[in-house]
Amino acid sequence: MIAQVVSSGVTSLALDGARENPLADFSDTPLWLTAIKAVGIFAYLLIQVLLVIWFERRVIGRMQQRPGPNRNGPFGLLQSLADGVKSMLKEDVRPKASDAIVFTVAPILFASMAFVAFSIIPLGPDVSMFGYRTPLQLTDLPVAVLLVLAAAGVAAYGVIMAGWASGSTYPMLGGLRSSAQIISYEIAMGLSLVAVFLYAGSMSTSQIVAAQAEQGWFIIAAAFSFVVYVITMVGETNRLPFDLAEGEGEIVGGYFTEYSGMRFAMFFLAEYINMFTVSAIATTLFLGGWQAPPGIAAINDGMFNEGWWGLLWFTLKMWLFMFLFVWLRGTLPRTRYDQFMKFGWKFLIPASLVWIVLVALVRGADAGFFGDSTFGILGRDFPVPVLFILGAALLLMIIGFTLWDRAAERRRAERREESVIDVDPFAGGYPVPPLPGQRLVEPGSARVGRTQTDIHTDASGSGAATAVVVSDKED
């Protein structure tokens, strides 16, 4: 019954939103103008990438009390361009055991999906280009945001292909780790966007921007979704503190360990394009898209919300997220992989589901958050404040489950500690790392857990050590 009420409410919201805010109108846009806009978006992103690489080096350099790049061009602005030229001129080495075709297709697929996802982002309102009136957007769909999630899912294949095609152990581990990370955090990312769809009544990016012009930026109404999205977008792009797919300490460099030259540059480019893509989605869905901030938007009857001004506001908002990426990299250490995955599966996803239920019930009510009407459930009328109490109760249940899980994990760790076997690392004559359930002790110790070192001399007179099981008591 509840599902039927929520479903009917969401459907009516979607129909109302579609009638009030139609899709972007491309009827006056010829095909050749669409091609020009596609090239313009490509150039726009490449310039942004060159600038953000320089920006990241300079900001982190300031954080670490060093100048950063300052040789090539004024203030080192041409350093990123010089690095790109160097990558193109470097020798492109391919491992002998690699799969030649897949090894080359992987970075191309990964980078292509990053550009495709940016095609549905509205960079501004309708503008005049070459005598035609056209939206500052490449294309629009009724389910445009799903295109971004689909492109991100396809990009995960590029990561898996890169790790497998290298024919090496560490890239394979990095590819598996990165693909699991991308897939896991795509779930929480998709759930965080559902609240925006419910508020806007549409999954079209242009309609979502138009809805925020009427209802206000969704960062206020969907604050929890915004926080979840920001966390997931950092995990989705493999950036610090979540760059676990590139853990230099344990897997050398991750899925692109064996890549060099232009192939490596493609992965490097795709990483930064993905940063701009997720930042553009956050800007569009939570910060009003290309619309000017509320104070500036009221000047001269919205003069700064017309024409090419939208591109300026959109770029500034997007760069706020880019600064967040750089700030996180310069301040936070890398997290542990199991903790990161557990946080996504055991907290972000359940909490997002609870938030969606709460938003769906509230949006299904006839009046808003402060209305005096009631919402019928199972034949009874419940006031809207009861919905907040229900949401708080569900959140408390999630917190209680999290605490219970941590206590259970501690109990399991204690049991594992009790069953640990103490071993001598030099028992076989050379150092051996401990296996799961084993613990190293000092060589020559009188007691080695459940094992005791037995030294004997062979016929040649050389000493050899063997480990035999005796008892749990000291000799």
Judge contact between 201 and 366, C-beta under 8 A.
no
pTM for the model stands at: 0.74
Region 80-93: what's the mean pLDDT? Answer: 82
Can you tell me the distance from the alpha carbon of 9 to that of 13, in angstroms, rounded to the nearest whole number? 6
Which 3 state secondary structure label does DSSP give 70?
A: coil
Can you tell me the distance from the alpha carbon of 340 to that of 242, in angstroms, rounded to the nearest whole number? 8
Region 169-189: what's the mean pLDDT? Answer: 81
Region 196-208: what's the mean pLDDT? Answer: 87
Residues 6+ apart with CB under 8 A from 383: 372, 374, 375
Can you tell me the distance from the alpha carbon of 122 to that of 317, in angstroms, rounded to the nearest whole number? 13
Asked whether residue 310 carries a pLDDT value surpassing 50, the answer given is: yes
**Residues for the chain: how many in total?**
475
Residues 6+ apart with CB under 8 A from 418: none
CA–CA–CA angle 310, 16, 309 (5° rounding): 5
Percent of the chain with pLDDT over 90: 4
Judge contact between 324 and 230, C-beta under 8 A.
yes
Region 167-192: what's the mean pLDDT? Answer: 82
Can you tell me the distance from the alpha carbon of 12 to that of 169, in angstroms, rounded to the nearest whole number? 53
Can you tell me the distance from the alpha carbon of 263 to that of 256, in angstroms, rounded to the nearest whole number? 9
Token pair for residue 332?
């936070």
> Which of 193-207, 213-227, 337-351, 460-474 comes out lowest in average pLDDT?
460-474
* 437 DSSP assignment: T
pLDDT reported for residue 443: 62
pLDDT mean across residues, the chain = 76
Domain ranges of the chain: 15-223+239-342, 422-469
Percent of the chain with pLDDT over 70: 76
pLDDT reported for residue 180: 81
Asked whether residue 243 carries a pLDDT value surpassing 80, the answer given is: no
pLDDT reported for residue 368: 47
Region 108-124: what's the mean pLDDT? Answer: 84
Residue (of 33, 338, 23, 357) closest to 208 by Cα position: 23
Identity of residue 155? A
Split at pLDDT 50, 70, 90, the class of 453 is: very low
pLDDT reported for residue 457: 41
Token pair for residue 355?
């938030």
pLDDT reported for residue 385: 59
Residue (of 288, 328, 309, 308) closest to 128 by Cα position: 308
* 433 DSSP assignment: P
Maximum mean pLDDT: which of 2-11, 69-78, 378-387:
69-78
Identity of residue 44? Y
Can you tell me the distance from the alpha carbon of 78 to that of 82, in angstroms, rounded to the nearest whole number? 6
> Which of 153-157, 276-280, 423-427 comes out lowest in average pLDDT?
423-427
Does a cis peptide bond (omega within 30 degrees of 0) precede residue 241?
yes
Judge contact between 170 and 253, C-beta under 8 A.
yes
Residue (of 458, 15, 14) closest to 194 by Cα position: 14
Residue (of 269, 289, 279) closest to 318 by Cα position: 279
Can you tell me the distance from the alpha carbon of 116 to that of 472, in angstroms, rounded to the nearest whole number? 63
